[in-house]
Structure 1
Amino acid sequence: MIISVVVSTYNGHDYLVEQLDSLRNQTIKIDQVLIADDQSSDDTVKLAQAYIDKYKLDGWSVKVNAKNKGWRRNFMEAMWASHGDLIFPCDQDDIWRNDKVEIMTKIMDQNPQINILSSDYCEFFEDGKEKIGPWPKENKLIKVPLTDNYLLVKSPGCTYCVRRELLELSKKYWLPEYPHDALLWRLGLFSNTLYAVTDDLIKWRNHSTSAFAKESRDLKSVSAKKQWINTAKSFDETMRRYVEEDVSGDKQKQFEVLAQNNRWLAIREKFYNKKSVIDGLKLAKYWGCYPRKRQYLGDWYLVYIKK
């Protein structure tokens, strides 16, 4: 199978070489490394090209967007532009364990029922602390079950290995507001083809300047939460269409989860708009839909305390 790694870059000078080193030193050869730069204003492009030239890396290339697309579109379109049978999304600032690609490729080769494979990560912080998640490290292959809180994406896209068939199908369902990992994770969930290996195959950098960290901070406002609810409602509609058109077998569980989330999001939206205590209390019935349980209390805080 042809292996592609897609690296999305934007002003990534500080950590890019570490990430590229970890790709170059994988225990099996990566057939294609596509570095998609989203109009960096620093010397990221020059650095990446110099790295390729220095090590004479066949199959590695840098593509610079004609205009800034934003990280969502940049990642998605770069993945579509790759030519591998297996595609690994890659951030610009992490460090992959040198056997990550070999382990995940072997699992995908031996398990054709898997369309998307995730793994544990070792999250490391600026103060030197580390934390392994999201599953206990047991070195097992597990199937990720569909539950009411399907909107929770437990692992970041940099831990994924995606089969080409699922990636091609994502073209039909992607919208500009959808992060690549959120869409692919949920496509796998609703088709019962999402699995994980409980081994930390990546060191995932947590730093305050990342796009992920910035958006997490921004969500702590009423306007951002309303926007999140709108995107979640859109995902509910997208997943319903996906289940109807492209998922085979018994679909009762999928439709039950979608119906539960549809009711939850409608009441949650009403709570933010009307600020009714009754609606807030009704949300307790949908405790299981919250990506994180503390977000239920967060709703009360945003509606009644934070102005």
Structure 2
Amino acid sequence: MATYNGGEYLVEQLNSIFPQLGTEDEIIISDDYSTDNTLEIVKELNDPRVKIYLNSLGKGYTRNFENALSQCTGDIIFLCDQDDVWEPNKVQRMSYLLSKNDLVVSDCKVVNDKLETIYNSHFSIHRTSSGFLKNFIKPRYIGACMAFNRRVLDCSLPFPKKQKYCAHDYWISLVAEMKFNVATLDEPLMLYRRHAHNASSGGEVSKFSLSHKVSTRVYTGICLLLRWIR
């Protein structure tokens, strides 16, 4: 989990996760030097499974996620935002599919800040499916809906240097599509909260210029080629 001034929704998110965890699981939180009560909330949990690190890799949510991922010790990794809500069977359903695949992406229900439904299915709106080329051209995966094994993690780290051209979920999904088995799960396993302070676009209409989109694909393509031959 990457956090930054997420105190408003953080408790609700964590409360949806804890019942799904075992004693050997961990919640790795990387905080990008929050100025609200985020760190106080985490420290008050007093749960040995929760480990908090300050982001040492540079400002921004992509570097914040990279810092969190570099601290993970488990064999299965779930990406997690600070403001969503997991369905009670998310870990069970995705872990089962990860026994046969390297990365799994689930559907989600898109909701507003009060958890009122905007869309029942992100997949239906964005016609989400697996495949390298279609997801390279137009990113359709939401990072918080992804889970993957350590092989994918080890191959994805470190992230490319220019984070403005390569978000963490875009990069991880393409590395997985390029080198591993990817499965999509047509089942909403998360309430994906959209509000005024979201750090990412979350698959919504992009506000980037055409030149930025082209630069993103060129830069990411070069980085993927270099990673392939590594």
Q: Same fold (TM over 0.5)?
A: yes
1:32 corresponds to which of 16, 20, 26: 26
Amino acid at match of 1:200: P
| Mapped contact 1:116–1:195 kept (Cα < 8 A) | yes
Residue deviations 1:250-297 (CA, integer Å, cap 9, x gap):
xxxxxxxxxxxxxxxxxxxxxxxxxxxxxxxxxxxxxxxxxxxxxxxx
Bigger relative CO (Cα 8 Å, ≥ 6 apart) = 2
Amino acid at match of 2:226: R
Distance in 2 of aligned mates of 1:181 and 1:172: 13
1:89 corresponds to which of 79, 92, 112: 79
Measured on the aligned residues, the alpha-carbon RMSD in Å equals 2.7
Q: How does 1:1-307 map to 2 (within 5 A)?
A: 7-26=1-20, 31-50=25-44, 52-53=45-46, 57-65=47-55, 69-109=59-99, 111=100, 114-126=101-113, 128-135=116-123, 144-148=130-134, 150-171=136-157, 174-177=160-163, 178-191=166-179, 193-213=181-201, 219=207, 224-243=209-228, 245=229
Shift of 1:103: 1.2
Residue deviations 1:196-232 (CA, integer Å, cap 9, x gap):
1111010000112211149978835xxx442332122
Distance 1:26 1:148, change over 3 A: closer
| Mapped contact 1:39–1:67 kept (Cα < 8 A) | no
> Quick one: percent identity of the two aligned structures?
24
Q: Unaligned stretches of 5+ in structure 1?
A: 1-6, 137-141, 247-307
Structure with bigger gyration radius: 1
Distance in 1 of aligned mates of 2:77 and 2:11: 21
Shift of 1:41: 0.6
Shift of 1:126: 4.1
Q: How many residues align?
A: 224
Shift of 1:170: 1.1
Q: Counterpart in 2 of 1:265?
A: none
**Structure with greater helix percent:** 1
TM (norm. structure 2) is 0.86
Distance 1:149 1:49, change over 3 A: closer
TM (norm. structure 1) is 0.66
Distance in 2 of aligned mates of 1:121 and 1:15: 18
Residue deviations 1:66-111 (CA, integer Å, cap 9, x gap):
58521111101211211010111100000001110111112212x0
